[in-house]
A and B are shown apart, each in its own frame.
Chain A
Amino acid sequence: MRSRKIEEAIFRGIMIAATLVVLSCSILILATILIKGLPAMNLDMITKTPKGGYYLGKSGGILNAIVGSILLTGGATLVSIFLSLPVALYANVYADKSSKLIAFTRVSLDVLWGVPSIVYGAFGFTIMLFLGLKASLLGGIIAVALLIFPIMSRGMDEVMRMVPKELLNSSYALGATRFETALKVVVRQALPGILSAVLIAFGRGIGDAASVIFTAGFSDRINFSLFEPAATLPLAIFFQLGTPFPEVQERAYASALILTIIVFLISIGSRILIRRYSKHVIK
């Protein structure tokens, strides 16, 4: 009888310890980025482009990478919305529940979800060679869109699955077509979840380096053209960290802090948006 209690206590202790280790790792990461990044931070970092090149430049900022990342990920997110929304709507409004096609689609999305971003980078580059594109904003958009659209589709699919069938039926009963029901009822009912899927995908895209390393290239200037190379934040961090100059490495820490803050803002923003757009949702 006593040994059971002791076993319980021991395992409970181990579990609490494990949880503390995991949680302290996340705190440690944030603390490290904050402690190293804050001293190197200044206004120039987010308002100026680098002087003397990203690799050697010891002054100026990384506005080129911030703008590049936002344009690139924004474009990729837009592309994936137009791909993901139809997939999720087809799976949940048009297709039969027992549809083999949809089962296959879901497995495919899971597979794509797990494909490493470096493979998307390599595959994207192959496609670009095929299309005759060089490393450019457009190339990066293609690769990142491939990377994030499975995440977005699965997210949308999950929330649309939760839409009660009776809700669809009440729209059909009024004489609405499936398409009208999909756009006006399903999308509205699932809106908070859809927004969060979009933002999660955006967050994943903006932080990814391996998919853009060959496809987007890098540039010291701010570039709005689809066919010119564009800088991205993760690569800026990677390159700055790779230099032998401590001053430039310091700048990498500041860049890391900026990227972390952007990712957190997105995460917090998604929570706020979810709350805001939940008012029409029927429980």
Chain B
Amino acid sequence: MESTSHITVQNLNVYYGDNHALKDITINIPDKQITAIIGPSGCGKTTLLRAFNRLIDTVDGVRITGKVLVDGEDIFDPRADVTMVRKKMGLLSQRPYPLPMSIFDNVAYGPKIHGIRKKKVLEEIVEHHLKMASLWEEVRDRLHEPASRLSIGQQQRLCLARGLAVEPEFILADEPTSALDPKSSLYIENRFRELRSQFSIILVTHILRQARRLADYIVFLYLGELIEHGPVNEIFENPREERTREYIRGVIS
């Protein structure tokens, strides 16, 4: 592996009640690349992603063992400040969930929470990040309208801008295009290509073609186990494991 790793997972196990959802995962996520987590539905893709920002904490009856090191610190350490962990991770979920406020406030929400009060600064932040998500031109004249009035595709870009505005180090994307039309999906994919140089992007997807055209690195999960991981070409051209080969050829799904 050519680059250093910001996220290191060591022997991670996640249980939902009696269900052993992730089994002893150990992996390094490469820095400043797009890593795609693939695998059939129910294999634990989303669970792994949500372990990175500890959103799995909010699930009832969840139990976690093992470590996830972000910048060398274990985020599951009881002394860790979960809000600071989450601040480092921008999340883009399957369906856009704008917050129940105006477009401007959606983007400003994160910075405000983290202590930025000056209106001028907030305005700059909002403009900058809406531009990064290439939404600025479409909404610059109606920043104070409710976010719910945007189209789904625009809402997803708004959520991207909202996530970027807290200046994360990582972007966690959970099938971010699954609710979008092809044009909006392409838009999001293009943003990811641009953002790759600045962020480490972790993408959960069930669309193999999307993983192939977008990702640099592939992680393949099957029934909660980590089967194989490696650079995108290796996994798609020459998988070592039989199950990976079968999944890629569409035998198991």
Contact = CB atoms under 8 A, between A and B. Distances in A.
Contacts of A165: 58
A172 B58 contact: yes
A94 to B, nearest CB: 11
B159 to A, nearest CB: 7
Interface stretch (A73-81, A121-129, A175-183, A262-270): A175-183
A170 B147 contact: no
16 contacts: A97-B60, A166-B95, A167-B100, A169-B58, A172-B58, A172-B86, A173-B91, A175-B84, A175-B85, A175-B110, A188-B101, A191-B100, A279-B146, A282-B97, A282-B98, A282-B147
A188 B58 contact: no
Interface in B74-92: 83-87, 89-91
B84 to A, nearest CB: 7
Given A170-B91, A175-B110, A175-B114, 10 more contacts: A96-B60, A166-B93, A169-B55, A169-B97, A172-B58, A174-B109, A175-B166, A280-B100, A280-B147, A282-B148
B113 interface: yes
Nearest to A165: B58
B97 A176 contact: no
Contacts of A170: 91, 93, 97, 99, 159, 162
Nearest to B96: A170
A85 interface: no
A281 interface: yes
A176 to B, nearest CB: 5
A172 B113 CA distance: 11
A137 B97 CA distance: 46
> Which residue of B91, B100, B159 has the most chain A CB atoms within 10 A of its CB atom?
B100
Contact of B110 (A174, A188, A189, A282): A174
Contact of B60 (A98, A166, A279): A98
B109 A184 contact: yes
Nearest to A96: B60
B184 interface: no
B86 A175 contact: yes
A173 B101 contact: no
Nearest to B99: A185
Contacts of B84: 175
Contacts of A171: 99, 109
Interface of B: 53, 55, 58, 60-61, 83-87, 89-91, 93, 95, 97-102, 109-110, 113-114, 146-148, 159, 162-163, 166, 172
A283 interface: yes
Given A166-B95, A170-B93, A188-B101, A177 B148 contact: no
Contacts of A184: 99, 101, 109, 113
A255 B162 CA distance: 55
Could you say which interface size class chain A belongs to? Answer: 20 to 34
Given A172-B55, A175-B114, A176-B83, A166 B148 contact: no
Nearest to A99: B60
> Which residue of A98, A176, A180, A191 has the most chain B CB atoms within 10 A of its CB atom?
A176
B76 to A, nearest CB: 16
A157 to B, nearest CB: 18
Contacts of B163: 173-174
Contacts of A281: 100, 148
A168 B91 CA distance: 12
> Which residue of B61, B86, B102 has the most chain A CB atoms within 10 A of its CB atom?
B86
A282 B99 contact: yes
B211 to A, nearest CB: 22
A160 to B, nearest CB: 12
Contact of A166 (B86, B97, B162): B97
A167 B58 CA distance: 12
A218 to B, nearest CB: 45
A280 B149 CA distance: 9
> Which residue of A172, A177, A185, A281 has the most chain B CB atoms within 10 A of its CB atom?
A172
Contacts of A96: 60-61
A97 B53 CA distance: 21
A177 B87 CA distance: 11
Interface string A138-181: 00000000000000000000000000111111111111110010
Given A98-B60, A166-B95, A174 B147 contact: no
A175 B111 CA distance: 10
A176 B102 CA distance: 18
A97 B110 CA distance: 26
A280 B102 contact: yes
Contacts of B102: 280
A213 to B, nearest CB: 42
A280 B55 contact: no
A191 B146 CA distance: 14
